[in-house]
Amino acid sequence: MQASDRFNINSQLEHLQAKHVGTGHADLNRFEWAVNIQRDSYASYVGHYPILAYFAIAENESIGRERYNFMQKMLLPCGLPPEREDD
């Protein structure tokens, strides 16, 4: 950790990660980041009712179904994580 980090929010990276799940770090890989992006996106869709309504019309589904689908997709948004070579 750098000396400069002592003063700002990044000084407690662990704490930060715990508090804001979507924050990242230098060792984050493509898959993990993408998962965060997907979850954030679905959370955002579910959170903004007008967007949800828009999707519902576009897909010809009920709003409730759309919401349910999005929530379900948040479980494994990108499928199973790829096998890691290093460990």
Partner 1 sequence: MASTDSEIANTQEERKKMEQQLASLTSVTFDVDLYGGGSDTRFDGYERSIAVNEDDDVPDAGESEVARKLASYTAPKSVLKEMPRGVGEDDNGGDLGGFKKPQKIIDREDDYRRRRLNRMISPDRNDAFAMGDKTPDVSVRTYADVMKEEALKREKEETLREIAKKKKEEEELKGQGGAERGSRDDGAAAAAQSQKRRNRWDQNQELDGGAKKAKTLSAAASSDWDMPDSTPGIGRWDATPTPGRAADATPSISRRNRWDETPTPGRVADADATPAAGGVTPGATPSGMTWDATPKLAGTATPTPKRQRSRWDETPATMGSATPMPGATPAAAYTPGVTPVGGVDMATPTPGAINLRGAITPEQYNLLRWEKDIEERNRPLTDEELDAMFPQEGYKILDPPASYVPIRTPARKLLATPTPLGTPLYQIPEENRGQQFDVPKEAPGGLPFMKPEDYQYFGALLNEDEEEKLTPEEQKERKIMKLLLKVKNGTPPQRKTALRQLTDKAREFGAGPLFNRILPLLMQPTLEDQERHLLVKVIDRVLYKLDELVRPFVHKILVVIEPLLIDEDYYARVEGREIISNLSKAAGLATMIAAMRPDIDNIDEYVRNTTARAFSVVASALGIPALLPFLKAVCQSKKSWQARHTGIKIVQQIAILIGCAVLPHLRSLVEIIEHGLNDENQKVRTITALSLAALAEASAPYGIESFDSVLKPLWKGIRSHRGKVLAAFLKAIGFIIPLMDAIYASYYTKEVMFILIREFQSPDEEMKKIVLKVVKQCVSTEGVEADYIRSDILPEFFRNFWVRRMALDRRNYKQLVETTVEIANKVGVADIVGRIVEDLKDESEPYRRMVMETIEKVVANLGASDIDARLEELLIDGILYAFQEQTSDDANVMLNGFGAVVNSLGQRVKPYLPQICGTIKWRLNNKSAKVRQQAADLISRIAVIMTQCHEEQLMGHLGVVLYEYLGEEYPEVLGSILGALKAIVNVIGMTKMTPPIKDLLPRLTPILKNRHEKVQENCIDLVGRIADRGAEFVPAREWMRICFELLEMLKAHKKGIRRATVNTFGYIAKAIGPQDVLATLLNNLKVQERQNRVCTTVAIAIVAETCSPFTVLPALMNEYRVPELNVQNGVLKSLSFLFEYIGEMGKDYIYAVTPLLEDALMDRDLVHRQTAASAVKHMALGVAGLGCEDALVHLLNYVWPNIFETSPHVINAVMEAIEGMRVALGPALVLNYCLQGLFHPARKVREVYWKIYNSLYIGAQDALVAAYPILEDEENNIFRRPELAMFI
**Is 22 a binder of partner 1 (CB under 8 A)?**
yes
User: Collapsing DSSP states into helix, strand and coil, what is residue 79?
Assistant: coil
Q: Write the interaction track for partner 1 spanning residues 35-74; mark x where CB under 8 A is met and - where it is not.
A: --xx-xx--xx-x------xx-xxx---------------
C-alpha angle with apex 15: 11 to 18, nearest 5 degrees? 145
Largest CA-CA distance found in the chain, in angstroms, rounded:
55
Measure CA 56 to chain center: 22
Site residues (vs partner 1, CB under 8 A): 2-10, 16, 20, 22-26, 28, 30-31, 33-34, 37-38, 40-41, 44-45, 47, 54-55, 57-59, 77-80, 82
